[in-house]
Chain A
Amino acid sequence: MASSEHQPGPRELLLANAADTDLTKLGEYERVGGYDALRKAVTTPPADLLDQCLASGLRGRGGAGFPMGRKASFLPKPDQTEKPIYLAVNADESEPGTFKDREIMFRIPHAVIEGVVIASFAIGAKSSFIYLRGEYLAEFEILRDALEEARARGLVGANILGTGFDLSIVLHRGAGAYICGEETGLLESLEGKRGQPRSKPPFPAIEGLYGAPTLINNVETLATLPTILRMGGEEYAQLGVENSAGTRLFSLSGNVVNGGNYELELGTPLRTLIYELGGGIADGRQLKAVIPGGSSVPVLTADEIDTALDFDSMAAAGSMLGSGAVIAIDDRCCMVQLGLRVAQFYQHESCGKCTPCREGTRWMVQLLRKIEDGDATQGELDLLLNVCDRILGNCLCPLGDAAAMPIASYVAKFRDEFQQHIEEGGCPFGGASSLEGVLAPIDQHHHDVLKTIGVPA
């Protein structure tokens, strides 16, 4: 582990060389050491590769943060199962605020492919599927072309690098559904069904795609494997802080001067990301709140931004690192409107399978709208929290929790603002909030055309 004097900060490992070289081209990628890790991996016993993953301390970069090496260790070895073993790549990035896998795919597609081949070799998979978010059209084209180049060079396909190892990689496009980023929803969708999550157990490591053992990893997690093998697992584990090894891409958005993706060592303070790299709050405004890990995580207040961006520090602050999506919110934003917009997203994306999520998200939206409009009673604010409570832990997948946790946190940390809406019978921002009147997709059909475009009656 890293020593206590070590101050984590910006550090480019994954995106090294990507700023000044076109790494979408195979030749350029190889010139900076690309596919060297794969060349080494295919002559290494698979068990040693898994040991490197474990030793590196790499935790999943998709949102749940589960140790990658341990997840892979749950799969049976090829000689322990009659079934094929599959690798499914979760490239269905859709957590609001998150756009880092997209940048990885359009800047370093070959690092993704190299990671996929290494992981497949390590677990004994001969088929892997990249489940790519349907909206990511440009990224589809880049990955498709990179795969063709890699196949032509013998890095993917039959008899990879002359070792006798065969691997097919299918690039599979989704069609617009947040829930397919949940691993079992992803598998259902990949099997040609509605993307409704499965109950677990059985876990995908035992019964995944087509009922066969399946490892599911996020794009960034897999793209990190070549770096880990180049450095060695133990060396990689020196980066970052305890329980949070390595670097990660953080997606910074909202009311900041310089939004974008920044690669940081885990343990870097949130303040460094927002103020040093992000240039601070735009338009000379004051920071009011920060969503540190995508829209599904509990909010932090402006005075909590010295919290470090690592798993344990975020947990201690009552939030989560999630997908690494940091959304800065300035003092123009009404927290009830923020809650409403977040709840509308989860209502829209609930797959409808579990009642608490399907019905609860709709109740949350209705109650938040009443509060925002100044029509809610004190009892209805209590009811909102009660609905959140009844969703938490009562659904097959985390989508319900993802809706309930942030909303409950907005009430907990900005209670006065919610209270003011009720007591004053309206929004204290008087129409001046930055989220005033935002049209969510779920409300599209109720939109008043005459009011918006001013057509005479």
Chain B
Amino acid sequence: MTSTTLYDGIQALAAQYPVRRSAVIPALQLAQEQHGWLPPEAFREVADALELTPAYCRSVASFYDMFRLEPVGRCVIEVCTNISCALVGAQAVLEALESEIGIAAGETSDDGAFTLRTVECAGGCGWGTVVAVNGRYRERVSASDVPTIVGELRGQ
């Protein structure tokens, strides 16, 4: 997507709301889809399109957990470690992912293939452990499923 179509995309989002500023979060989501994360130019693009300042857009983005203020791997793996998942073995799932990929939670692999992190309650509590791969939930994941999952993701 070029900058012009991002600009147009943001105008279409803004048109849905009585007040254009309501489109800040959807616009940042669109910019993040384009860039993979939110680099400084993304804040300039969103700010230009909505007639706000880049600093304002960055202050909004920094409040929300799903906005990436640093580059991430092509495959972002998120493990819920809130209590329901933790009670059924989320930490073992996380540690299996760490050892299978070779990075610690919070890190991105050197080849840019994987980012691994823990997240707060994903909303799949009765079907834990929940692991989100690029935003798609996998449920009832156990540590023994991890080698297959990582193998499948490496093959993609």
Contacts and interface: CB of A to CB of B under 8 A. Distances in A.
- For A351, A438, A439, which residue has the most chain B Cβ atoms within 10 angstroms? A439
B86 interface: yes
A184 B81 CA distance: 27
Contacts of A453: 98-99, 102-104
B126 A251 contact: yes
Contacts of B53: none
Contacts of B123: 93-94, 98-99, 102, 133, 135-136
A208 interface: no
Given A99-B124, A260-B127, A439-B94, A191 B21 contact: yes
Given A170-B16, A327-B83, A341-B83, A175 B125 contact: no
Interface stretch (B1-9, B56-64, B141-149): B56-64
A247 interface: no
Given A170-B17, A329-B87, A195 B22 contact: no
Interface string A321-332: 000010101100
A177 B64 contact: yes
B25 A192 contact: yes
Given A135-B123, A439-B118, A440-B81, A173 B26 contact: yes
Given A170-B17, A210-B19, A192 B24 contact: yes
B32 to A, nearest CB: 9
Interface stretch (A62-70, A342-350, A366-374, A392-400): A342-350
Contact of A97 (B16, B83, B102): B83
A127 interface: yes
A437 interface: yes
Contacts of A191: 19, 21-22
A194 B63 contact: yes
B118 A172 contact: no
B64 A342 contact: no
B119 A438 contact: no
Contacts of A127: 18
Contact of A438 (B21, B61, B81, B127): B81
A436 interface: yes
A27 interface: no
A341 B85 CA distance: 12
B120 A348 contact: yes
B117 A253 contact: no
Interface in A407-457: 434-441, 444-445, 447-449, 452-454
Contacts of A29: none
Interface in B78-111: 81-84, 86-88, 90-91, 94-95, 98-99, 102-107
Given A96-B82, A96-B83, A441-B119, 6 more contacts: A170-B16, A174-B25, A176-B64, A253-B128, A259-B125, A453-B99
